[in-house]
Amino acid sequence: METTHRVFVGDARDLSAVDDASVELVVTSPPYPMIEMWDDLFTDLDPAIGDALDAGDGRAAFEAMHAQLDRVWDELERVLVDGGIACINVGDATRSVDDSFRVYPNHARVLSAFEERGFDPLPDVLWRKPANSAAKFMGSGMIPPNAYVTLEHEYILVFRKGGQRRSFEPGADRRYEAAYFWEERNRWFSDVWTEVTGELQALEDDELRERSAAYPLEIPYRLICMYSAYEDTVLDPFWGTGTTTLAAMCAGRNSIGAELEAAFLETFDDHLAELPALSRSVGRTRLERHREFVERRREAGESLEYEAEHYETPVVTAMEREIRLWAVCEVVDTADGYRAEHAPLSLE
C-alpha cells in the first residue's frame, strides 16, 4: 500500500490549494483563543485583537480571535466531502483581563460556529490531561467562596458535514480492513479519555513540540482509526509539528497539512527517520493488547466465536474478521510532501 502526504506553509484561512470535497476527515487543534501563548499569532492575523487586549476588552478579543478561526471553518466546510467528519481538539481558557477573571468557553464558541455552517454535532470526547502538580491550586486558598476550579480537560468536538452518513459499496474492503477490535471500540468510543499520553510510544519531546502545543500521537491516531477508512485523506489545517501526519502514516491514510510557521516543517524530516519503527510499534502494541485481551477473556471462560483472517487470533464479532494493520517501510520525499510505502504488519 502507498499513501501520500502533502504539507504546505500557508494560511489555513485560505485553503485554495485543497480541492472542494477532497477530504474525508479533519483532525486538528487550533491555537486556543485567550491562551496567552497565542496572543501574538492572533494579533498578526488581525491587529484589532492586540488593541482589544490592550484596552482590557477580553470579550471583544475572544470574539475577534474566533472570527479568524471561523474563516478556517469555512474552508473545512468547502473541502470536506458530504458525510465527512471534523474532529476539533480545543480547550477553554481562564484569564484575568483588566483585573477581571473569567473562563472563555472556546469549545462552546467553536461548536456554534460549526452548527452555523450546517455541520451536525456528534457526541464529543473529554480528554482529561494528567495533572499531578500541587501548584495547580495555588492562589485558591482554603476559604470560600472565591476559589476557582482548575481546568484539567480539553474537548474533542466531533462534527459531521451534511445530514447523511458516508456510503460505501457493499463489502468495501478498504472499510472492513480498517476495522478496529471490539475492545478498542469500547475504550475509544468512551466519552472521557484519560492517560492518553501513555498509550503509544511518544515521539521525543523537544522544545518545538512545547512551543507548538503538540498533542500526543494517540489522539489523532485514535480519531483517524475511528472516523476514516483506508484510502481516505485526513486534513490538519493547524499542522504544527505534524503529529496528525505521523498518525495518518501510522494508520495508513493519506494526509494534507497547512502550517503558518515554516520552522515547523523544517524539523519534520527528523521525525521521519523514526517513522518505520514508530508505526511498527503502534501496530504491534494494538495486536499484542488484543492477544492479552483474548487471554483474559479465555481465562474468564468466555468464548470468542470468530477468527481474524489476517492474524492468528480470535475476535469477538464478525465485523473484525478482515481487520488488517499496515506498517510504514519507507518514506520518500516528493515535490509537495511525502510518499509512504506500507507493508502488512505481522507480529512475527
Ligand X SMILES: C[S@@+](CC[C@H](N)C(=O)[O-])C[C@H]1O[C@@H](n2cnc3c(N)ncnc32)[C@H](O)[C@@H]1O
- Say whether residue 259 binds ligand X (CB under 6 A): yes
Q: If we measure between CA atoms, which residue out of 326, 298, 89 comes closest to residue 225? A: 326
CB 8 within 8 A of CB 251: no
- The one among 31, 58, 276, 314 contacting ligand X by CB under 6 A: 31
Residue nearest to ligand X (CB): 240
Report the nearest approach of ligand X to the CB of residue 261 (Å): 4
- The one among 260, 265, 304, 319 contacting ligand X by CB under 6 A: 260
Report the nearest approach of ligand X to the CB of residue 217 (Å): 8
Report the nearest approach of ligand X to the CB of residue 209 (Å): 6
For ligand X, the binding residues in 219-248 under the rule CB under 6 A are 238, 240-241, 243
Residue with C-alpha cell 476588552?
Answer: 57
- Say whether residue 172 binds ligand X (CB under 6 A): no
- The one among 7, 12, 35, 111 contacting ligand X by CB under 6 A: 12
Of the two residues 261 and 322, which places its CB atom closer to ligand X in the complex? 261
Report the nearest approach of ligand X to the CB of residue 47 (Å): 15
Of the two residues 176 and 239, which places its CB atom closer to ligand X in the complex? 239
As given in the structure block, the three cell numbers for residue 281 are: 510499534
Span interacting with ligand X, options 7-15, 97-105, 167-175, 279-287, rule CB under 6 A = 7-15
- The one among 215, 221, 230, 326 contacting ligand X by CB under 6 A: 215
Give the total of residues touching ligand X (CB under 6 A). Answer: 20
Span interacting with ligand X, options 27-35, 198-206, 227-235, 304-312, rule CB under 6 A = 27-35
Residue numbers of the site for ligand X (CB under 6 A)? 11-13, 29-31, 41, 212-215, 238, 240-241, 243, 258-261, 264
